[in-house]
Amino acid sequence: MTFHLLVLPGDGIGPEVIAQARRVLDWFATRRGLAIEIEDGLIGGASHDRHGSFLTEQTKARAQAADAVLIGAEGGPKWARIRAGSGPESRSGLIRLRRELDVYANLRPIRCFDALAGDSPLKAEVIRGVDFTIVRELTGGVYFGEPRGIEELPDGTRRAVDTQVYTTPEIERIARVAFELARGRAGRLHSVEKANVMKTGVLWRQEVERLHRAEYSDVALENVLADNCAMQLIRNPRQFDVIVTDNLFGDLLSDGAAMIAGSLGMLPSASLGAPLGAPGAEDRRKAIYEPVHGSAPDIAGRGLANPLGAILSVAMMLRHSLNREAEAALLEGAVEAALGNGLRTADIAPAGAPPGAPTVGTQTMGDGVLAALEAATQ
C-alpha cells in the first residue's frame, strides 16, 4: 500500500532541514522500495502570510486524511505580536494541529551517539551510552487548559491566567503508552510530576500507580519530582530508560536533555494518537513527526542548520508508522556513520573548539547521511 505523507516545512530553518529529510525519503523510495506519496502544505507563519491563519481548515483536513505529517519548524519574531493575543487564532498552528489530530503521546528519544560523546558540554563518562525516551503528554495540561488569557484589572495593572488541568483518562492513556514502551525496553519507568505542590501532580501520581498495580506490575515504577528529575538528568542520565510526564514538564525536560545528545538540533520526535484497537482509535494511528528544535530565525536561509533531528524523525516514522524497523535502524546507523566520519554542523562542533573551526552546512550533512546509506547497502 502507498503511504500518504503531508509535509509542512513551516518557518525559519524548517524548509532547509525538511529538504534533507525529503532526500532521505527519496532514497528509501528508490533504493528500498518505499511506496510513499508526498503532499506539501503550509503551517505557522508561512501559512499566516499566505492565508491569514497559522493553520487553515484545508490543512487540517489534509492532515486528517494523511497517514502521517512531517513538520519542520514553526514561528518567529515576525508573528510574535499576533501570537501574544488571547483569541483562538493566537495559538500556534502546530499546537492546534496536535489537538485536532489528538496525537497525545509525544516520544522524544535521548541518545548519545558514540561519535559525539566527547563533544558534548557534559563529560563523556557521564553521557556515553545514554539511551532513554521521554514520553510527553501532548494535548492536555497548561497549554490547553481553560480559562487562559490576560486581563486588565481595575487598578490599571494586568493579570495573566493559565490553567493546568488533567483528567483520569488523559493520564491513563499516556501512562499506558509509557508502560508498554518500558516493557519492551529495560522495564523501568520514571513518572515525573510535582505532587508536592500541584493537585494535578497528586492525581497524576495516583493514576499512574493505580494502572501500575492493575496491569504493569512487571515494570519497575519510580515517582520523581520534576525538579529532582532535571538534576538527575545531568548527574546520572544512564539511570533512565523511559520517562513519562505532562505537557509542560516534558517540554522543559526534553529540551534540557538535548545537551546529552549534543544539541537540540539532534533530537527527533514522534507524536502519536490512539493505537489501533484502543477506545476511540481510527483505522490508522495518527502521527506527526518533527525535529524538536525551533525555527532559529537567526540562521534561517544560511544553510547552517543541523538537519539530523529532521532526518532522525524520518527514522521514527519508518519505525512507528510504517513498521519498517530494519530501515529505521539503517538510517540511524547512517547518522552514526556520518558523525563518525567527522561531519559536524556548528551546533555540534567539539566543545572548546576555537572560533572558525571547520564545520559543515545543512546540505553537506545531508550528503554525508546519504553516502553512509549507500555504503551500508553495497
Residues forming the active site: 143, 194, 227, 251, 255
* Alpha helix stretches (DSSP H) within the chain: 14-31, 45-51, 57-65, 80-83, 93-101, 124-127, 168-183, 199-215, 226-235, 247-261, 308-320, 325-340, 362-376
Q: Both ends of the chain: CA-CA distance in Å?
A: 27
User: Does a cis peptide bond (omega within 30 degrees of 0) precede residue 147?
Assistant: yes
State phi, psi for 358 to the nearest 5 degrees: -60, 130
- Which string of b and e fits 127-148 if b means at least 16 CB within 10 Å? beebbbbbbbbbbbbbbbbeee
> What residues contact residue 259 under an 8 Å CB cut-off, 6+ apart?
120, 121, 122
Instruction: Extract the C-alpha cell encoding 151.
Output: 486581563
